[in-house]
Structure 1
Amino acid sequence: MLPTPSPHAIAAIIVTIGMFVAFARAKMSTEIVSLMTIAVIAVGLYFFPLPDSQPTEGLALAFSGFGHYALITICALMIMGRGLVVTGALDPVARVLERVFKFNLQLGLLLSLVMAFCLSMVVNDTPVLVLLLPIFVSLAARGAMPASKTLIPLNAAVLIGGMGTTIGTSTNLLVVSIARDLGMPHMNVFHFTPIVLMAALVALPYLWLVMPRLLGDNRVADIAEKRRFHARLRLGEDSILTGQELSTVLPRLPADLEFHEAPIGPLQPQQRLAISGTHEALEEAMRTLKGEIAPAWVIDRIRQQSSEIGADINVVEVSVTADSRLIGRTLPSSGVADLYGVAVLGIHRPHTLLGERDQYSEGGDLRISEGDVMLVMGLLPAIEEFARADSLLILAGKREMPRRSKAALAGGIMLGSVGLASIGLLPIAISALAGAILMFVTGCVRFDRVGRALSAKVIVLVAASIALGRLVLESGAADWLGQTLSLGLQFLPPAAVLAAIMLFVTLLTNFASNATAATVGTPIAFSIAEKLGLPAEPLILAVLFGCNLCYATPIAYQTNMLIMAEGSYEFRDYIRTGVPLVLLMVATLSILLVSTYGM
């Protein structure tokens, strides 16, 4: 006889469904729906507290998410990810993958998915995604596939890989531990790996070919053409062009980089080349050719000052006004570097105003004219002094240069945090928090830049999901759903029993938490096996697999939250791509379990 759910259990189910519908309809922002969910739980439990509890305990439950270790962990991971980005620590890896993506986008994505899957089998899911996330955001900025089309497939590959071993996720360990306490034999690390590998072969084509097509492009199209700056590139002593002709290296340079009056014959160290391109193209040319587009001594002085006072180096565009003393001068004759300690990297002038010989000096340098836009690098106070003294207008927007001197340090902090969590020496919450603190202490991330690392949408969504998960568990809604499930399974064939258990646990995972799903689902599966006379191990594995099928909502797992802001995802993006994957994995895993255990 099916027991009647308690009023609190009914309310918990209604709130869960209401939150899901509100997210799916997307008529209100994620932040508003999340805060409304927290408010409904808080007010409801204050006036109608849970049995044997006080109204204030209901308020503590509703707001517990804001102080929960999972939210602290996610914020710490975001801060560490920001540290990798602002120091440029992952640029070398990004450039390698960029070459693969440039060769073939589909091959690059396939390689990335396989890499993510393999890594997450031996390293916990969250650290793997934390390492990969900044790389793929950087790749998107470099012109590879947009982040919105790669991050959800990448996250799914990580989650499927983490399902393959007992150490892949902490939830796997929890299910195996509970099963052992119930009398099940011990499962080794690779006990069920072959099943997951076969299921992954079925899921991979969907992740690779179908899922990106279901996701939008979050890149913002440039309304105006990017400014192109004219500069003089001086080749370094160790440049790859030394002794070679220019044509040999052109394929390795950005497509929008242009050489003017290209020299004939082998190039020599300290030779100056007239080039033009966007700021990004100029930077890539300097890195590839090992040259400088401004005096090396002033760039070294800027970097030294930045290190001494702990200030960021900025690159700013400034416009030359009619009152500027620079009009008619060239950069070498302007004395800007000596007077202000800033480096002018290039000058932008519309094509319609270029071409007259009297605009160039005898040395071939462009003479500065009214309306020119100069690309200036330096510390912000020095740039402001330069603009004020020479009658220049600072244009809107500035770009902070990566603090490359901290790149190795930021990479070491990240690897140390990930390594400690991966080998189980420290929980991910502790290692991530310690890593975030070290990022602050060492200057890899500045305190006044924390807001750029964190996402308000993710924070309130995590807090709401934690509160809802606790409500589902403590109200008895999860237990009632489990009892309802067990009563209806006695008439189904084994494959359907496995699929039903997996779907039930998946439902709990996507709307409560995988820990809740494991805690509730494992004893239920063991009891069902005894009642129906089925082997317990495949039913326990159905619970374990179901706990990992957390693709359909962003609140299901912390890695889902981590990619939400970077991919500019909405709740419905997870539903649209995750539900088909859940159904595909449930069907595949159920068939594999039946065939493997001869049920």
Structure 2
Amino acid sequence: MTALPSFHALAAMIVTVAMFVGFVRGRMSIEIVSLLTIAVIAVGLYFFPLPGNDPTDGLVLAFAGFGHYALITICALMVMGRGLVVTGALDPAARLLEVVFKRNLQLGLLVSLLIAFVLSMGINNTPVLVLLIPIFAALAARGALPSSKTLMPLNAASLLGGLATTIGTSTNILVVSIAVDLGMPRMGVFHFTPIVLLASAIALPYIWLVMPRLLKDNRVEEQHAERRFQTRLRIGSDSTFIGQELSAILPKLPDGIEFHDVPPGPIEQQQRLKISGTHQALEDAMRVFKGEVAPVWVLDRIRRKSTEVSKDIVVVEMTVTADSRLVTRTLPTSGIADLYGVAVLGIHRPERLLGAKDQFSEGGDLRISEGDVLLVMGLNHDLQEFARADSLLMLEGARELPRRSKAWLSAGIMFGAVGTASIGLFPIAISALAGAILMFLTGCVKFDRVGRALSGQVIVLVAASIAVGRIILESGAAAWLGEVMSSGLQYLPAAGVLAAIMLFVTLLTNFASNATAATVGTPIAFAIAQQLGLPAEPLILAVLFGCNLCYATPIAYQTNMLIMSEGSYEFVDYIRTGLPLVLLMVFTLSILLVMSYGM
């Protein structure tokens, strides 16, 4: 008969369950529950230290998560992801996937899942997710599926791909290494790939078709329609559309661009076309026509000054007040560029003013009226001076333009970090930290803006999960759970034994860590195989598979926490979507292992 758990083991299990309940109920924020968990562990171990430990050792255990390499790795990966976003490095990939999503949303998601799955078979799934998260955040901003409906399935697909080879995740390598130490022959890279591919054929349809339906739409509904700005597009001298009729190229253009008073004949170099659209639509128009919507000389001056003073270029909306000197003037006669060094990209006219008389000058330029909204680009100091001097009201929602001159640099840093980690040259913690430092040193990410890249919620959640994982292991709770489980397995068929081991390890990996699950579960599975007279390899594989079934909680794996902030996920979202996937995979893999090994 199995002995009762020790006082510390029992307390560790109670703290773990209490944390889980706190997350699920949602009455307190994840940050508060995480900090309370750390505090309970710290205070408890100070007054009731583990055998052979000092009271201060408990404080080290409770707070070690804040300096743990896993947390440093996650923060560094967030910084590198931010670098890709602010430099616009991922825009080409986002536009390519956007084409697929425009053809069919479900097809676009399926292609994305397959890409994540295949890449994760040979590359650690953490850098794969780091590359994909900013792309799908950009796609969501451009009108594709919301990030809340894509990031969770993408994460699941990458975890599934990482399960397929011995090098797919660091946990796989750990389990195989422990098994070799126990006397088992070393497994090849694709030793169990056929089993995982068969299971994936069943799991991927769930991830593709069912999981997105179980997730909410996290997009914030606009309180009003996006403003459309009128402007004149100057056709670039190297535009590929020169000499073509506008009517022939309209189907090739991005959505949202509207042309007005188009002159007959083919498009000419430096021709000025009157267009309207949202800010994003104007950017798309400039990109495809290789043109500008403001005088080139002032845009070049803004960019030069931005480089000289190391300040970001900002685009902001400003409302014209009744006291502004701009009222009744046109942009060419306003002198804005000469006086303030800023560029007006377009003018939005509210509907109530559309019927006003004398809207246009003799040259066809729109006269500015009270209530118009100007879309203005420049450095922050110049924009504030312009608003103050000309009686304009700056609206909220200023947007920093991507530092596109550093796009290739940030992409090179990211792929260098990913590549060195993927081939095993450096651990992911080292390569990610080096990449984040290079992002700062090269100016791809400004150090004073690093707070925008990091999520406080993720930081305290990671720290709490590390503390819980250590106390579960060091208190003996994990070993006691293993003994309880092994005492009842003799009455189960082979598939039941495999499923029970897999579920036990899955429980550990979702509430402690996959490293803990691998360390504890592999020797237990090996011992159970000897006691029950079963082949050891399928039981070891049950541990390896279980360690990777970390779908049901955000604390189970670092990529789960990476997507949490961007997807605006709550703890219950992981349970709702991950638990069915865990049960589906346990059932399928158990049967496949029995069939493969003739048990």
Quickly name the TM-score band, shorter chain normalised: over 0.9
Q: CA deviation at 1:12?
A: 0.7
Instruction: Show the 5 A alignment for 1:307-322.
Output: 307-322=307-322
In the alignment, residue 495 of structure 2 is paired with which amino acid?
A: A
The CA deviation at 1:317 is 1.1
Distance 1:225 1:596 in 2: 58
- TM-aligned CA deviation for residue 245 of structure 1: 1.5
Deviations 1:357-395 (A, max 9, x none): 622122211111222111110011111122222222222
Gaps of 5+ in 1: none
1:92 alignment counterpart:
92
Shift of 1:491: 1.1
Provide structure 2 residue ranges, at least 5 long, that are not aligned to the other structure: none
| CA positional deviation for 1:78 | 0.6
Q: Does 1:251 align with 2:266?
A: no
2:394 is paired with a residue of what secondary structure? strand
SS in 1 for 2:397: strand
The amino acid across from 1:158 in the alignment is S
Q: 2:154 — aligned with what?
A: 154
1:316 Cα offset (Å): 1.1
- 564-573 or 19-28, which deviates more: 19-28
Q: Deviations over 1:424-447 (max 9, x none)?
A: 111111111111111111111111
Matches within 5 A, 1:474-485: 474-485=474-485
Q: Deviations over 1:310-360 (max 9, x none)?
A: 100000111222222222221112221122111100111123423566221
Q: What amino acid maps onto 1:583 in structure 2?
A: L
Task: Write the mapping of 1:202-217 to structure 2, written as runs, cut at 5 A.
Answer: 202-217=202-217
Query: For residues 344 and 252 of structure 2, what CA distance do their matches in structure 1 show?
Result: 25
Runs of 4+ in 1 over 4 A off after TM superposition: none
Q: For 1:335-354, what aligned pairs fall within 5 Å after superposition?
A: 335-354=335-354
What is residue 184 of structure 2 aligned with on the other side? 184
User: Structure 2 counterpart of 1:234, which letter?
Assistant: R
TM superposition score normalised by structure 2: 0.99
Q: Which residue of 1 aligns with 2:551?
A: 551
Q: How does 1:500-539 map to 2 (within 5 A)?
A: 500-539=500-539
* Aligned partner letter, 2:271: Q
2:306 matches 1:306: yes
In structure 2, C-alpha distance between the alignment counterparts of 1:528 and 1:356, rounded to whole Å: 85
CA distance in 2, matches of 1:132, 1:328: 48
2: CA distance between counterparts of 1:204 and 1:570?
23
- The separation in 1 between residues aligned to 2:79 and 2:255, in whole angstroms, is 34
Name 1:266's counterpart in structure 2. 266
| Secondary structure of residue in 2 paired with 1:411 | helix
Cα distance in 2, alignment partners of residues 380 and 71 from structure 1 = 34
1:26-47 alpha-carbon deviations (Å, 9 max, x no partner): 1111011111111111111111
Determine the structure 2 residue equivalent to 1:385: 385
Aligned twin of 2:232: 232
SS in 2 for 1:489: helix
What's the C-alpha RMSD, in Å, of the aligned pairs? 1.1
Task: Kindly report which structure 2 residues correspond to 1:382-531, keeping only aligned pairs within 5 A, or say none.
Answer: 382-531=382-531
Q: What corresponds to 1:329 in structure 2?
A: 329
The separation in 1 between residues aligned to 2:40 and 2:434, in whole angstroms, is 35
Whichever residue aligns with residue 64 of structure 2, its letter is S
**C-alpha distance in 2 between matches for 1:305 and 1:137:** 30
Residues 206-231 of structure 1 deviation map (CA, whole Å, 9 limit, x = unaligned): 00000000000000010112211110
How far off is 1:485 after superposition? 1.1
| Whole-angstrom CA distance in 2 between matches of 1:238 and 1:479 | 69
Aligned partners of 1:47 and 1:109: how far apart in 2?
A: 52
Q: Distance in 1 between matches of 2:24 and 2:430?
A: 34
Match of 1:586 in 2: 586
| Aligned AA (1:301) | R
The residue identity in structure 1 corresponding to 2:78 is: M
Percent of aligned pairs with the same amino acid: 76
C-alpha distance in structure 2 between counterparts of 1:392 and 1:131, whole Å: 40
Indicate the residue corresponding to 1:167 in structure 2. Answer: 167
Supply the AA of the counterpart residue of 2:321: T
Deviation for aligned residue 1:125? 1.1
Matched, 1:136 2:136: yes
Q: Distance in 2 between matches of 1:531 and 1:396?
A: 68
Asked whether the equivalents of residues 473 and 479 of structure 2 are also in contact (C-alpha less than 8 Å), the reply is yes
2:369 aligned residue? 369
How far apart are residue 259 of structure 1 and its match?
1.2
Letter in 2 for 1:445: V
The amino acid across from 1:581 in the alignment is L
> What's the counterpart of residue 7 of structure 2?
7
Q: Which amino acid aligns with 2:358?
A: D
* Distance in 1, Cα, partners of 2:249 & 2:58: 67
Alpha-carbon contact 2:514-2:547 (below 8 Å) kept: yes
| Secondary structure, aligned partner of 2:395 | strand
SS of the aligned residue for 1:275 comes to: strand
Deviations 1:547-586 (A, max 9, x none): 0000000000000000000000000000000000000000
The whole-number CA distance in structure 1 between the counterparts of 2:171 and 2:407 is 33
Secondary structure (helix, strand or coil) at the match of 1:292 reads: coil
CA distance in 2, matches of 1:112, 1:182: 39
Q: Give the match for residue 73 of structure 2.
A: 73
Give, in angstroms, the shift of residue 238 of structure 1: 2.1
Match of 1:210, SS state, is: helix
**Residue of structure 2 equivalent to 1:109:** 109
- Equivalent positions of 1:286-301 (< 5 A) are 286-301=286-301
For residues 132 and 578 of structure 2, the distance between their equivalents in structure 1, rounded to whole angstroms, comes to: 20
Q: How far 1:253 sits from its partner (Å)?
A: 3.0
Report if aligned partners of 2:337, 2:343 keep a CA contact under 8 Å in 1: yes
What's the CA shift for 1:62?
0.8
The superposition leaves residues 62-108 of structure 1 with CA deviations (integer Å, 9 ceiling, x where unpaired) of 11111111111111111111111111100000000001001100000
Structure 1 CA distance, aligned partners of 2:467 and 2:438?
30
**Code of the aligned partner of 2:303:** R
Q: Distance in 2 between matches of 1:325 and 1:572?
A: 55
For residue 65 of structure 2, what is the amino acid of its counterpart?
G
SS of the residue corresponding to residue 396 of structure 2 reads strand
Q: For 1:362 and 1:501, how far apart are their aligned partners in 2?
A: 82
Measured after TM superposition, the shift of residue 248 of structure 1 is 2.2
Equivalent-residue separation in structure 1 for 2:437 and 2:163 (angstroms): 31
Alignment partners' CA distance in 2, 1:482 and 1:252: 62
Q: Which segment is superposed worse, 202-211 or 259-268?
A: 259-268
1:267 Cα deviation after fit: 1.4
TM-score calculated relative to the size of structure 1:
0.99
Q: Say if 2:350 and 2:371, in contact at 8 Å, map to a contact too.
A: no
Q: Which residue of 1 aligns with 2:54?
A: 54
Offset at residue 495 of structure 1 (A): 0.5
